[in-house]
Amino acid sequence: MDFTLKIWRQDSANAQGSMKDYKVTDISSDTSFLEMLDVLNQQLIEKGEDVIAFDNDCREGVCGMCSLYINGEAHGPKKLVTTCQLYMRSFKDGQTIYIEPFRADAFPIVKDLVVDRSAFERIQQAGGYNSFDTGSAEDANNILIDKETAAAAFDSAECIGCGACVATCKNSSAMLFVSAKVSQFALLPQGRIEATSRVLNMVKQMDEEGFGNCTNTGACEVECPKGISLENIARMNREYLAASLKG
């Protein structure tokens, strides 16, 4: 398969960026999107040009490192996959593909397609943990949790913090991410102990990072590679309201 690629190139955080055109040819339909970029980078190396910088790590869809806004969608046109799980068979032969970094002022560009998502880490540090020692594994029946709640907590914990929610949201809101991190604790008895301070501190940090306000478009839920549901945002809204009243 052959493709025309329009890729955002930017030398450094403060440099002026622009879209540059590239061609790749003879790409197997079973090549992953990141492998296709590897092929392009190999060509650039052979020509003595600067390679295109892009984030990646596990390439198994679990680490949350890969990003990319492909043809106007976070992680590309396929739903419930990260960019590393996107294969070139999802595109038409000869297609022009736009590749841009995740854009939000809270995710500043480092170089080319690499963005700094450490804002998410600071939100996590503001309360996305239990501060006390939960000890070693207890007998499974010591704390009873119904199946539905346990499954919901696990669904929330599936968030890999890739930032697709922010990238796809027209407001650059981080509420899907923050709400998933709030929910994975809020749903379980161990997480309830610090639930009040957790949601207040994490939302405060989220606002300080400069993310936009959620207007419930639902785009984040659709583009989330892990299918994190809007129910998490509603839960965070409830948690925050209750926490604000408690103080």
Partner 1 sequence: MSGILSSSLARKYAMALSAFFLIFFLLIHVSVNLLSVFSEDAFNTASHFMGTNPLIQFIMQPILIFGVVFHFVMGFVLELKNKSARSVKYVKNNGAANATWMSRNMIYSGLAILAFIVLHFIDFWIPEINTKYIHGDTSGLLQNGEGLRYFEELHLKFSNPLRVGAYVLAFVFLALHLLHGFQSAFQSMGMNNKYTKSFKKWTKGYAIIVPLLFIIIALFHFFNQ
Q: Which of 6, 66, 65 is nearest to 32 (CA)?
A: 66
Closer residue to partner 1, CB minimum distance, 63 or 81: 81
Least spacing, CB of residue 20 vs partner 1, in Å: 11
**What region, left, alpha or beta, does residue 216 occupy, with left being phi > 0 and alpha being psi -120 to 50 degrees?**
left
Least spacing, CB of residue 133 vs partner 1, in Å: 31
For residue 207, the tally of other CB atoms under 10 A from its CB is 13
Closer residue to partner 1, CB minimum distance, 31 or 173: 173
- Please state whether beta strands 96-100 and 3-9 pair in parallel, antiparallel, or not at all (unpaired): parallel
Least spacing, CB of residue 73 vs partner 1, in Å: 5
Q: Kindly tell me the sign of the dihedral angle through the C-alpha atoms of 78, 100, 169, 220.
A: positive
Q: Which residues bind partner 1 (CB under 8 A)?
A: 6, 8, 19, 69, 71-73, 77, 98, 100, 103-106, 168, 170-173, 175, 203-204, 206-207, 210-219, 222-223, 230-231, 233-238, 240-241, 244
Least spacing, CB of residue 120 vs partner 1, in Å: 15
Least spacing, CB of residue 125 vs partner 1, in Å: 19
Query: 135 is written with which tokens?
Result: 């000890």
10 Å CB burial of residue 181 (0-12, 13-18, 19+) is buried
Closer residue to partner 1, CB minimum distance, 6 or 59: 6
Q: Which of 76, 130, 126 is nearest to 102 (CA)?
A: 76
Residue written as token pair 């061609």: 23
Closer residue to partner 1, CB minimum distance, 57 or 122: 122
Closer residue to partner 1, CB minimum distance, 226 or 235: 235
Residue written as token pair 């799980």: 85
Query: 206 is written with which tokens?
Result: 């989220």
Closer residue to partner 1, CB minimum distance, 45 or 122: 122
Q: Where are the beta strands (DSSP E) in the chain?
A: 3-9, 18-24, 69-70, 73-74, 96-100, 109-111, 114-115
Least spacing, CB of residue 216 vs partner 1, in Å: 4
Closer residue to partner 1, CB minimum distance, 58 or 77: 77
Least spacing, CB of residue 225 vs partner 1, in Å: 13
